[in-house]
Structure 1
């Protein structure tokens, strides 16, 4: 393995150590199941490792991993459209006591974003929950930055109207 690949593998290892928990929460808040989120994160990391090992360097590893996880979450929903767990059933998912706070947070966020178009709710998650900038959001979703901002503005307006009513 050449030194460039070794450097990229070290960078991937560093990313795993530093951001694995954040990336797990990123995936979990989109799919709502611990085991599936963990599997998804692992699959993305393994795929990145294989690409690097095969000599296909990844230019911006952070963004590549984040985009890959976002795409994997979208694939997850497409593949499991008929087996989605409803928000009313989320409390019935067996979880250890340590998992309860994240399930409750997921439930609150889902209730708050329920009724928004998916493209708006995803931008609210990325901006408010994940703390990403509109620039990064636009790059991840491959939309103009102005579109990301307007979708966010419409979503917040819709949420405010629902909270008033």
Structure 2
């Protein structure tokens, strides 16, 4: 692993010294993993192609600007860029569907968001509920916040979440469970009403 990190460092240096083959080799080395991750999240080939390209445009621009902080974790850094671009896409498309989040079959966090023909009032209330939930999520530990984003915002399966975050499926499920318990606690403590 250390050998690979040193090799990647040299390829980045090669690119910075004016040889585009350094970066080309890095991209070829990791393209399958990065593209597969994006495609699994968006489930659309054209969109995955666009986000894959955007990921490496951002990688190139960051390296060229001197902002890349080489800590021997090139692929993790690239995956984080890809992940953030996917999340940004879902935010822009308003595909934030937290209504799937259920706790113990009794508590559907955003049960009230399922509306067949929303009026302007329903839309405004729904937007407020989303804002409230997103604010509360900021207080969650990073692992719990990540699993909620991946599951509810990006629509990933727990199997895919486990692979992406490099943990077991049980750990991913546990993180979701604790995240929902913590959100429910905060909702109760802060007296937030998530209904119309």
Tell me the residue number matched to 2:161: 126
Cα deviation code 1:140-160 (max 9, x no counterpart):
xxxxxxx75622678xxxxxx
What's the counterpart of residue 26 of structure 1? Answer: 37
**2:93 — aligned with what?**
80
* Residues 39/6 of structure 1: CA separation in 2 closer, same or farther (3 Å cut): same
Q: Residues 38-117 of structure 1 correspond to what in structure 2 (within 5 A)?
A: 38-59=49-70, 60-81=73-94, 115-116=100-101
Larger helix percent? 1
Q: Which runs of 4+ in 1 moved over 4 A?
A: 7-11
Inter-partner Cα distance in structure 2 for 1:6 and 1:52: 11
- C-alpha distance in 2, partners of 1:16/1:22? 10
Aligned residues between the structures: 110
Larger radius of gyration: 2
Q: CA RMSD in A?
A: 3.7
Consecutive unaligned residues of structure 1, counting only runs of 5 or more, are: 85-113, 136-146, 155-165
Taking structure 1 as the reference length, the TM-score comes to 0.51
CA distance in 2, matches of 1:58, 1:48: 12
Structure 2 residue ranges without an equivalent (≥5): 1-10, 103-146, 179-196
